[in-house]
Structure 1
């Protein structure tokens, strides 16, 4: 049996099944945006690294959050 490679399968146009929904666009953050994180709480974005990661100041600590930003929300 082949191991799963994690790549999405292509949809055949003749398939009777619906194609998978497109991935939602990644949220963009800029410096001084107020954000909330499920684990760390409220914070302010202090740096953006080319849509790969953001640096957020949560008051008591600074954290680098990488994409996808599943737990980080803009306020």
Structure 2
């Protein structure tokens, strides 16, 4: 008995698996003095922006350096 390899199945044009790849959202740019909100630390103000896309932010009680990509950081 001979085995045959399975045929390559093409998806129909209306298939939900034919969705195009969605490009990632652009990385947000911050400047000194911007007001920001962080999910964990709260409201803050940008003190400095580094050349390697790090942002130094003053959240009132503490200052944090946050690196790119800024997943939980939103510009207000």
Where do 5+ consecutive residues of structure 2 fail to align? 1-10
Matched with 1:61 is 62
Deviation at residue 54 of structure 1 after TM alignment: 0.3
* 1:1-75 equivalent positions in 2, closer than 5 A: 17-50=18-51, 52-75=53-76
1:49 & 1:39 partners in 2: Cα distance? Answer: 22
3-state secondary structure, aligned to 2:74: strand
- Partner SS, residue 56 of structure 1: strand
Deviation at 1:72, TM superposition (A): 0.5
Distance 2:24 2:74 in 1: 17
Which segments of 5 or more consecutive residues in structure 1 lack a partner in the other structure? 1-14
RMSD: 1.6
Moved over 4 A (4+): none
Give the aligned length: 61
Query: Is the strand fraction higher in 1 or 2?
Result: 1
